[in-house]
Amino acid sequence: MVAVLQRVSQAAVWIAGNEKAAIGAGLVILLGIEDADGREDIEWICRKAIQMRIFADSEGVMNNSILDSEGEVLLISQFTLHASTKKGNRPSYIKAAKPDIAVPLYETCIREMTKQLGKSIETGVFGANMQVSLVNDGPVTIILDSKNKV
């Protein structure tokens, strides 16, 4: 499982010209799911994302987590995070999980993130053509890979 965390001052996701969800200050999390992912990957990604100290404390130092800053979360599924670009110029998405595997894992991730954060989160719609707008604050962008924990 791969997650791209982006610290934002605001973000929104649109589908077919309609705003599906919007947040203020917090995290946009782009989530890529592969066939080999399971409950352990979800728990690790959620825990790391929520505990990542990338928000400013009272002295302006990145020392606070999303919990400390009481920020919001927008979680978006993004299969293209598992693109293989080794051959040619057309990415291969063979590593990305198919919907029958990915959808239940994505839904479990939403529940786990909500549980660990202690409040509801905003989401996109799995498999939809989405337009995501955000203002990356910093910019701060962190990549987490549950298969590369060391």
Under the banding of pLDDT at 50, 70 and 90, the label for residue 44 is very high
Under the banding of pLDDT at 50, 70 and 90, the label for residue 97 is very high
* Structural domain contains residue 29: yes
Tally of domains within the chain: 1
**Mean pLDDT value of segment 45-73:** 97
Q: Does residue 40 have a pLDDT over 90?
A: yes
Q: Which of 6, 51, 55, 78 is catalytic?
A: 78
What H or E segment, with its residue span, contains residue 9? strand 2-15
CATH of the domain at 108: 3.50.80.10
* Structural domain contains residue 119: yes
* Structural domain contains residue 115: yes
Nearest CA-CA partner of 54 in 150, 146, 141: 141
Q: What is the domain range of residue 117?
A: 2-145
- Residue 115 neighbours by CB distance under 10 Å: 11
Under the banding of pLDDT at 50, 70 and 90, the label for residue 149 is confident
Q: Which of 6, 55, 79, 123 is catalytic?
A: 79
* Structural domain contains residue 122: yes
The pLDDT value given to residue 33: 97
pLDDT over 90 percentage in the chain: 92
* pLDDT tens track for 11-26: 999 999 999 999 999 9
* Structural domain contains residue 98: yes
* Structural domain contains residue 46: yes
DSSP bridge partners of 145: 2
Told to judge if 114 belongs to the known catalytic residues of this protein, a careful annotator would answer: no
Told to judge if 55 belongs to the known catalytic residues of this protein, a careful annotator would answer: no
The pLDDT value given to residue 4: 98
Q: Does residue 111 have a pLDDT over 90?
A: yes
Told to judge if 6 belongs to the known catalytic residues of this protein, a careful annotator would answer: no
Q: What is the mean pLDDT of the chain?
A: 96
* Structural domain contains residue 150: no
Q: Which of 6, 10, 55, 80 is catalytic?
A: 80
Q: Please, are residues 55 and 8 in contact by the beta-carbon 8 Å criterion?
A: no
